[in-house]
Structure 1
């Protein structure tokens, strides 16, 4: 079976027009006749969405209307946990692909409506998505009436319009372009941008293209991103650790390198190192136990059994 598959693949590659690329993926594109979904590259190759968010977005877009696409439904379908799926859905919401709105039905019940937009940019340009048109029943056409004898033909009867059924639920409208978006987190800033921090941060940013050829930053980009790198350095993060965080698992192709670096500097910023006092173990409180005096049986605190303070004074006075 494997040999038959390999032979078919070899024949398919031989039929591709033009020379094959020396490296990278090779596409064998066979048109679909059924069960396919058209997905825009703006989603499949999104520069800021995680791979989980892109996959869930493609899955939701391929599902028919009315399908359950909540967190629990997706967690039951895929191996990712509810926390990962919830984070991916929030990413899709932040970039306009997914909208979850609360709506009240005619019976007073409040439900959550989930709307997925395959082109958020087009929705924003249009201002809002209009409600789907109401179904209109066809108007019956009267049969032609034969002309009556003179003096004049009788006019055909006027058909009565069929009433349009009222919509059971209120229309779902997406937010317009004036709706407020969640604010983006600002680039981290150091407490003090010293000349040493600025020089190290600038050199690290300019050298990124030596470790990831896609991250070619302009001088303006480097100047803008220097405070973010300086904030990492100020928190005692080594330059090689910063470089690894900025160059590992880059999206392909990265359309906006500066935006990718800014996003990672913002969301991956580690917390400051704790001080020595915070790492020291808590001091244990020493509790001295209660003892009963061997002479008067009065309770007193001491590490060892013996006499209370009053009895000790009496014994010392008697001995003197």
Structure 2
């Protein structure tokens, strides 16, 4: 069976002005006549608001006045949970779309009103006063145009009574109308966003690339070794065939690796292992890896001396001259028991001589 064509969609596409794009979205704009809400692109395309916050803002903007828009009330209307709705309301409050204003009723009770503004940035601009009546807009020095007084109605004349003219009625002066107080309190500049994206946008300026490393003491031997290494690289990895210009440009980077004690096999594996499937610019990949994977310089003699640990002195074993017992001592001699026995024997001998 052939695919069924939607004739209504085909007719609507034929009415779209201009040529249709070959890729991307195609808008069929049908004007609304009822049940619609106007949403600005500053909200629909907000770069720092999540899609959940934008959807909650559109839902709140479409509700009539006086509808409860708390977390539980919105959770009952939407499919999102209370946590996502609470996070979306915090985002809208951080960017000024949602505000909570404390107000005092005539009875003295203080309440908190939840206010949603569809254009929070417009509140930062000075508010225009309300239009005054036409008669109040005339300058002070200008003369007011004479008012046309209606002619009095003709009265029948009574013989013997003078004619009395009734004064025309003066229209009352309307009281001065003061401009209504604005509903929203002027906002301070919005604070820093609560959710900072970890990935910068594509239009963010990119930092300049790091320069290719160079040896601290360039020598002809290092230059020849680096040049030979780059020329021989295609024998091990054919996709890394370099031109003469690329070899001259990359030779200082390889010389810096060789100066830091890296072996040629180690450099070759670091530069050529796991290349992309479609390698279009091998010289650019080599420059990036030579710069980003540069090993640290080898430590000096003083650095190694600081890492050397002090040696532990071990007391050697000695053999007692009297009992042939092993004991630890830096010098040969007698063990502890033999020394005590000899001291006790000498002390007793001395005491015997003294008594005699």
* Larger RCO (alpha carbons 8 Å, 6+ apart): 1
Q: TM-score, with normalisation over the residues of structure 1? A: 0.47
TM score, norm. by length of structure 2: 0.42
